[in-house]
Amino acid sequence: EYYLTSHVLLILTPILLAFTIFGTTFLVKLVQIYKKELVQLGIIGVVLYIATDYVWQLWPYLSDMVLHTVSNIFALSYHTEVSDPQILTVADFKVQVGEACSGLESLFMFSALYGLIGHFEWKNIKHKVYLLTFIPLAIGLYLVNILRVYLIVLIGVEWSPDLAIKLFHTYLGMVFFVIYF
């Protein structure tokens, strides 16, 4: 019940804002001009929404890979320990490598944006290059996520756990994603 209500409100909010800001006449004309594109975006949105549920089931595997990769890197110069549930301890700094650390959100957002660019620019791009570069770029993004988690833990170990968790955990991923994309 709350799940459905929250989704309906999330969908209605920008629609109602658009009517408030732009007015009915402008929006009706906009829909008439861009009907084909809006239908395409609607279909893409539904597909992405459905795909999100399936893709999100991968987070434990990706998170576990991040946990062990970062742990092995830190083991070169610090005392590290891995314990359940996905807890990484480096020196005296302890952190759980959970859903947000899996990199799945970035990979999904990257895939969606990459797909949208391909869809709308198909006539203007080199198809072979576009198709062949997706996997290496996705792997690169995942490596950037491992670097992000490593830096967050390093900041927590060397400077301030509060700074690492409260500031860098929240914003470092967004900054790295924008730079990488």
Q: Record the pTM.
A: 0.70
CA atoms within 13 A on the CB side of 60: 4
Per-residue pLDDT of the chain (181 residues; tens, 9 = 90+): 677 788 788 888 988 999 999 999 999 999 999 999 889 888 888 887 888 778 788 888 888 999 999 999 999 998 888 888 888 888 888 888 888 788 888 888 888 889 888 988 889 999 999 999 999 999 999 999 899 889 888 988 888 878 788 777 767 777 888 887 7
Q: Which residues contact 110 (CB under 8 A, 6 or more apart)?
A: 137, 138, 141, 177, 181
